[in-house]
Amino acid sequence: MTELLHEISVPPTRVSGRRWVFLRRVVATPGGSAGLAVLLLLVGSALFADLVAPYSPIKMGVGKRFLPPSLAFPMGTDEFGRDVFSRILFGSRLTLMIGAIAVGISMSAGLVIGLVAAYRGGWIEKVLMRTTDMLLSFTETLIALACVAVLGPSLANAMIAVGIAGIPLYARTCHSAALVERSKPYFEASVAAGAGHCRLIVLHLLPNILPTMIVVATLGISSAILAAAALSFLGLGAQPPQPEWGAMLSGARDYLNRGPWLMAVPGLAIAVTVLGFNLLGDAVRTALDPREAGE
């Protein structure tokens, strides 16, 4: 009888290569593969800009101003005779850097605030979360503008400003995710086992909220890039002659009649990048959804 009953319980199954399964699930959706393609393209051009770019991104070319797209200049030249294609390629470095650094700042500060608030509770949680709510009621761009106004216009400051502006969103998401995990029995079991604060936060809470935060971050990169481009467009971010896409867009505004490609190219680059990261974020969210995970 006992053997019979033992047989009823399901034997554990081994799942191998969870990382690859995850990647395969991201690529499985058309949006995911498109997003991943954009990301790879961006990384590729950032890495190999020196090799691929036919010209220097900042060297001016006398007598080559406003050349329309041709074989020699695939995306034409700008008002200083610089090759737009080369500038776009080198600009991808800045774009990736902006995305990574701004999101890095928002994410790390948001994680700390959210985790501390959820873990400690009490008045600390109230102060942190009400402040977050207050900041959330302003649009991110407004906060970023205020930060740049204080820090002064430069690309580095723009990244910091966009990063700071993103903190409330990350803190809020992290807080609610951590609250959910905190109330689960495994967390209580660790408390009962005598685990200390560090262990509970770093080993139990953090790894369990990370999937949620990764989704937020992937989606957040696109809005960070957009916000930084907006700052550069306003002249508060990248300074000439840095080939930043937002700044290129801004510079091209005055020459709309003489060189319409000057606006179209960086505008398209920004749009495609933002779209790519959004698609990727959606795919990552779908792939991480436990309901989709199945066996």
Q: Which stretch binds other proteins (CB under 8 A): 88-96, 192-200, 225-233, 279-287?
A: 192-200
Residue 281 has a CB neighbour count (10 Å cut-off) of: 22
User: Cβ of residue 243: shortest distance to other proteins, in angstroms?
Assistant: 42
Counting every residue, how long is the chain? 295
- Does residue 133 bind other proteins (CB under 8 A)? no
The residue among 154 and 176 lying less far from other proteins, judged by its C-beta, is 176
What's the rounded Cα separation, in Å, for the pair 208 and 176? 12
Q: Which stretch binds other proteins (CB under 8 A): 97-105, 115-123, 150-158, 200-208?
A: 200-208
Q: What residues from 202 to 231 belong to the interface with other proteins (CB under 8 A)?
A: 203-204, 207-208
| Dihedral pair phi/psi, residue 52, rounded to 5° | -85, -40
What's the rounded Cα separation, in Å, for the pair 247 and 236? 9
Give the closest residue to 144 by CA, choosing from 125, 124, 114, 168.
168
Estimate the crossing angle of helix 155-182 against helix 84-120, to 10 degrees. Answer: 40
Question: Buried b / exposed e across 38-59, counting CB within 10 Å, b at 16+?
Answer: bbeebeebbeebeeebebebee
Rounded to 5°, angle at Cα 33 from 32 and 38: 100
CB of 244 closer than 8 Å to CB of 266: no
CB of 273 closer than 8 Å to CB of 222: yes
- Does residue 239 bind other proteins (CB under 8 A)? no
Rounded to 5°, angle at Cα 187 from 182 and 188: 105
User: Cβ of residue 36: shortest distance to other proteins, in angstroms?
Assistant: 22
Judged by CB under 8 A, the residue of 134, 191, 202, 256 near other proteins is 191
Interface characters, 8-47, with other proteins (x: CB under 8 A)? xxx-xxxx--------------------------------
- Does residue 122 bind other proteins (CB under 8 A)? no
Q: Which stretch binds other proteins (CB under 8 A): 62-70, 155-163, 199-207, 221-229?
A: 199-207
Judged by CB under 8 A, the residue of 24, 199, 253, 258 near other proteins is 199
- Does residue 121 bind other proteins (CB under 8 A)? no
Interface characters, 266-295, with other proteins (x: CB under 8 A)? ----------------------------xx
Q: What residues from 158 to 187 belong to the interface with other proteins (CB under 8 A)?
A: 184-187
Q: Which residues bind other proteins (CB under 8 A)?
A: 1, 4-6, 8-10, 12-15, 184-196, 199, 203-204, 207-208, 294-295
